[in-house]
Amino acid sequence: MRTLIANGTVVTTGGSTSADVLVDGETIAAVGTGMAGMVQVDETIDATGKWVIPGGIDVHTHMELPFGGTFAKDTFETGTRAAAFGGTTTIVDFAVQSKGKSLREGLDAWHAKAEGNAVVDYGFHMIMSDVTDDSLKEMDQLVAEGVPDFKLFTAYPGVFYSDDAAIFRAMQQTGRNGGLIMMHAENGPAIDVVAAQFVADGKTDPYYHGVVRYPIFEGEATNRVIRLAEAAGVPVYIVHLSALEALDQVRQARDRGAAAFAETCPQYLFLSLDDMGNGFEGSKFVCSPPLRPRDPHWEELWKGLRKDDLQVVSTDHCPFDFHGQKELGRGDFRKIPNGLPGVEDRVDLLHDGGVVGGRISKERWVEIISTAPARMFGMYPQKGAVAAGADADLVVYDPNRKRVISATSHHMDVDYSCYEGRTVQGGSDVVMSRGSVVVRNGTFTGRKGHGRFLRRAPADFARLA
């Protein structure tokens, strides 16, 4: 199958130019001008007035994550389908090592969940909950199998938590095998002390989830793990950074030349602690790190994105129904499953708030949602590029289209939206995954099982720093 995407504006990190894109089979054959009528194709997609961008890459999702006695609701089928509707053509999900189990068992379980079900391509990172001599050795094998990143937590004592020794040992191991440590950086033990004090005082509403997880607890843990990485001589990537206190630590680290990288998520740019009020309704917004007060965090995070102290925006997509799942925490905010739906809305929210809002250029938008994650997670230039030889993961994007976000029209398998009623400008007209159109003007045309596992190489962080 040969397709020509004609007359669009190709937007890449390097600049924007009027060009046609010729797709042959699963890859991009050529990017150039004047191809219409000159090349034989099966279909021509007219992109006049539209942008042609590399498909979005969301490097932080949790399909079917077991958490708080339940499971994140989206499967690889529903979650990647929703991603495709939102212009995201690659996800990297977190396989989970349970305590007392091997990395292998966790990874095999995630392969079984995804294989034959995903609509777009997917990779895995590995959550390490049990750092032992054996699991440290297993890391080398995972790197060789295309799973080169490992997420550890300074939060969630008794569940995912690792102490400093475990984190440092895992970092040393990545120094030998080329992998990357991704850190959930909040001081979990200190948070648990404050949370228990609030509950003892009868402060059990969801709102207090947002209060007890102090920004300084995130700042402290962020500084600590960056310092540990510097001591181990390895790069480190801070996931879902939410607060100025943590951003300042990343800024300082980068200023002194440390290989510290970080992502934030749409919820920290568009939602705030205020959303967590209104009684138990606030449970819809319970995630960790929590939503922060709007000032000063929102604009500082945007500044971080502009100045490249933050390189990526991913979603931490981890959806739980309000009815039946979030409700597990009625009467005790500590029992509310942590996580928000978001995989479908990231690209449009960032376009609306970033590009339309005048905070970032459209080229920087493409970098943040696609090219930087491809580079940092070993997928570039197969993914994240509009260039000959790259996978034809492409979006014909209408920068003027408007839609109202709502749970009644979204495709994520969850009974509410954090952005209910918000109008966003910008939307995906045509979404292509490896040369196949998977979404066309709001209709799904893809296929369960089309998505393939991506073996990823460790990124060259020396070059990225």
Q: Which partner, ligand DUC, Zn ion, none, binds residue 351 by CB below 5 to 8 Å per kind?
A: none
- Residues contacting ligand DUC: total by CB under 6 A: 9
Q: Which partner, ligand DUC, Zn ion, none, binds residue 411 by CB below 5 to 8 Å per kind?
A: none
Which is it for the CA torsion 78, 84, 87, 91, positive or negative?
positive
Under the binding rule (CB under 5 A), the answer on residue 411 touching Zn ion is no
- Minimum Å distance from CB 218 to Zn ion? 11
- Minimum Å distance from CB 368 to ligand DUC? 20
Of 64 and 352, CB closest to ligand DUC? 64
Q: Which of residues 315-334 bind Zn ion (CB under 5 A)?
A: 316
Report the residue from 62, 251, 317, 351 that binds ligand DUC according to the rule CB under 6 A: 62
Q: Which partner, Zn ion, ligand DUC, none, binds residue 339 by CB below 5 to 8 Å per kind?
A: ligand DUC
Q: Which of residues 304-343 bind ligand DUC (CB under 6 A)?
A: 316, 318, 338-339
Of 58 and 77, CB closest to Zn ion? 58
Taking CB positions, which residue lies at the least distance from ligand DUC?
287
Of 118 and 418, CB closest to ligand DUC? 418
Of 51 and 67, CB closest to ligand DUC? 67
Q: Which two tokens stand for residue 408?
A: 């009644």
Per-residue mark of binding to Zn ion, 271-310 (x: CB under 5 A): ----------------------------------------
Q: Which of residues 229-288 bind ligand DUC (CB under 6 A)?
A: 287-288
Of 60 and 364, CB closest to ligand DUC? 60
10, 386 in Cβ contact below 8 A?
yes
Report the residue from 184, 209, 375, 456 that binds ligand DUC according to the rule CB under 6 A: 184
- Minimum Å distance from CB 338 to Zn ion? 8
Per-residue mark of binding to ligand DUC, 284-303 (x: CB under 6 A): ---xx---------------
- Report CA-CA distances (Å) from 416 to 19, 240, 424: 40, 21, 17
- Minimum Å distance from CB 325 to ligand DUC? 12
347, 429 in Cβ contact below 8 A?
no
Of 188 and 435, CB closest to Zn ion? 188
Per-residue mark of binding to Zn ion, 169-208 (x: CB under 5 A): ---------------x------------------------
184, 153 in Cβ contact below 8 A?
yes
- Minimum Å distance from CB 392 to Zn ion? 29
Q: Which partner, ligand DUC, Zn ion, none, binds residue 338 by CB below 5 to 8 Å per kind?
A: ligand DUC
Closest by CA position to 252, among listed 187, 244, 459, 164? 244
Of 184 and 326, CB closest to Zn ion? 184
Q: Which two tokens stand for residue 457?
A: 């190489």
Q: Which of residues 425-464 bind Zn ion (CB under 5 A)?
A: none
- Minimum Å distance from CB 153 to ligand DUC? 7
Q: Which partner, ligand DUC, Zn ion, none, binds residue 287 by CB below 5 to 8 Å per kind?
A: ligand DUC
Of 275 and 316, CB closest to Zn ion? 316
In single-letter form, the type of residue at position 282 comes to G
Closest by CA position to 61, among listed 42, 76, 49, 50? 76
76, 447 in Cβ contact below 8 A?
no
Q: Within the chain, what is the greatest distance between any pair of CA atoms?
A: 74
Residues that bind Zn ion (CB under 5 A): 184, 316
Interface contacts to ligand DUC, rule CB under 6 A: 62, 67, 184, 287-288, 316, 318, 338-339
